[in-house]
Structure 1
Amino acid sequence: MCITLKKACGAVATFAAVAASAAATAPNAQAAPARPTCVINPSTGYCSSPSCSGTGCGHTDPYSTGCSVGSYRVFPRDANGLELWWSPTCKTNWVVVVSRLSESFYVERGSDHAKASWAATGGGWTDQLYAPGAARGCTSIWDGRSTWSTPECTPWTS
């Protein structure tokens, strides 16, 4: 199944939808949000190499830039549906959240505590941060009335 993503920037790109089993996750989890696997070069029909490198990838979408190609999850999905991802090609981290809850989530770089964040109901992902050193992912949950929970974070990774 292919879709076009709302968070994609620039030219329209085609992406593959990702499926996840809710049974193996938290009780409120749902199938993973549709995430692109690569940016399709319209002239060739093949995945493009990343459109950024190094610090130029900071605060950009990991999927529309092509940094997700060859990326992997460095922290598995936790009870809040949070995953921390790493792109060895672009040297970036980002957070993916799979949940039916209203959540605010972010990726944080260890060297200067810079953050890229996103808030959504039903999950999503943050922009990526150039983070060749330590990084972590955090999430807070809205109680539905007036309060965000204290952030829960992954351990620092490097």
Structure 2
Amino acid sequence: MLVSGDIVRAEVLAVRVFGMFCVYDRQEIQVLIPEISWIASFNSCEQFASVGDQLRVRIIHVDAAGGRIAGTIKGMYANPWESNQFEVGTVFSSKVMRHVDQADRCDGQSGYLVELMPGAYAMLCSQNSSITPGERCSVIVNVVNRRQHAVRISLVSPNQKAC
């Protein structure tokens, strides 16, 4: 039986706007959208994961009586907002996680979900770039909204493939 604090590799069974349902050792784990990223990067979990994806999840609550288990992705890592790690002009070597056909943070245009640092994901608007998931890209922070925990990023040089 899972307990709070356990870290497991769970398979995504279903993705909804509000969260994801995962399974580990026949136990269902729900990860809600606020527990995915330290950065407000998307309004739907459908932009973060797909059925069959494998995710590292920390268990944050087990309701044995109700049979519910809650997990977190971002909660495995320190909150980068507390140490001011997001500043305009900061450059990150980011891993491209996936292509998103219609990204919220790209005004409905396509984009790429990138991992700026463990537990902190941001949306990179396509900018006529062709990037492959798994590659690393140099991105720069253009806008920081501390109140909403949001950033806007772009490729370091939008005229070249920086991956």
**Taking structure 1 as the reference length, what is the TM-score of the superposition?**
0.28
Greater RCO, 1 or 2 (C-alpha within 8 Å, sep 6+): 2
Which structure has greater strand proportion? 2
